[in-house]
Amino acid sequence: MVCKLTSSLSPINIRNKIIKLISPLLLWSCLGLNGNYANDITFQDTPNIIYVDKNASGLKTGRSWNDAFTNISQALGQSSLNSSVWIAKGTYPEYITIPANVKFYGGFSGNESSLEERVISNNPTILDGGNQSQRIGPPMTGPVEGIVLTNSNTIIDGFTIKNGDGRLGYGIYLRGAENVIIKNNLIEENKAHSLGESGNYLGGAGIFCSAQNVTIDSNVFRNNQAQNTLSISVGGGIWLSNSKNVNVMNNIFDKNSAKYGGAICATNSNEI
């Protein structure tokens, strides 16, 4: 038997096992508390996954690998609360701002059905800031330009982030965010240089972080440089500035450079 809502009362919004109770009488009847319908209602979780594969040739709806979007900006434009964006191997020269409450995963071959099936080392998903002529989206203005800019409650997992060039955090830029996880990434060949006058600070070529409740785990930072003769360069790999409760663990730092803290520099930060 099927429970059909034919009452003139307001409907029930049933989604992802959450019931928004608008009409108590209607819910009472539909759940079998005033009848025999309880066994006829089933609930099914449907993960909100958006797929990206630069080589996909399908409908470009983002609803499957076959019909994946071919650039990341399209996927982020369609993302909503608690979306996950899965991105297949390839090079993506794009300006990217990850919305709040979106999980951002790379390292897929393009046929996986779970995160556990990924082999990130075999499927490099590259966010490349080096080729300006191929960049998608409007150019950012001002002294702060990151390949990946993040908001709160986000995950960045499984990418190669390279060839950024700016003043602060041209790999990943975090300011004012909270509850962010940066994990399983290769962050390399990014440069921070001064756009201001003598005495300015610059740094965080790999990651600039002015945020709280951040986890930076199991990443590789390689050949990131914060260098300028006119400015005070800090944190070639990571610069933590006015940050709180940041966990930096299980990372590898190789040949990163700055005047102060070639790997990591923390200023005005606590609970590190």
d(CA 218, CA 202): 25
| Residue spans of the chain under pLDDT 50 | 1-46, 133-144, 196-198
This prediction has a pTM of 0.77
d(CA 66, CA 117): 17
Return d(Cα 102, Cα 220) in angstroms, integer: 23
CB 123 within 8 A of CB 145: no
| CA torsion angle 145 53 49 179 (round to 10) | -20
Cα-based angle 155, 156, 160 (whole degrees, multiple of 5):
170
Residues 6+ apart with CB under 8 A from 15: none
Q: What is the pLDDT of residue 93?
A: 86
Q: What pLDDT is attached to residue 23?
A: 39
Distance CA 163, CA 131 (A): 9
Percentage above 90 pLDDT, the chain? 48
Residue carrying structure tokens 């360069």? 233
Nearest to 259 by CA among 211, 220, 227: 227
pLDDT of residue 179: 95
The per-residue pLDDT for 268 is 84
| pLDDT at residue number 193 | 72
Helix (H) or strand (E) segment spanning residue 98: strand 96-98
CA distance 66 to 53: 9
Rounded (5°) CA angle 186-190-191: 160
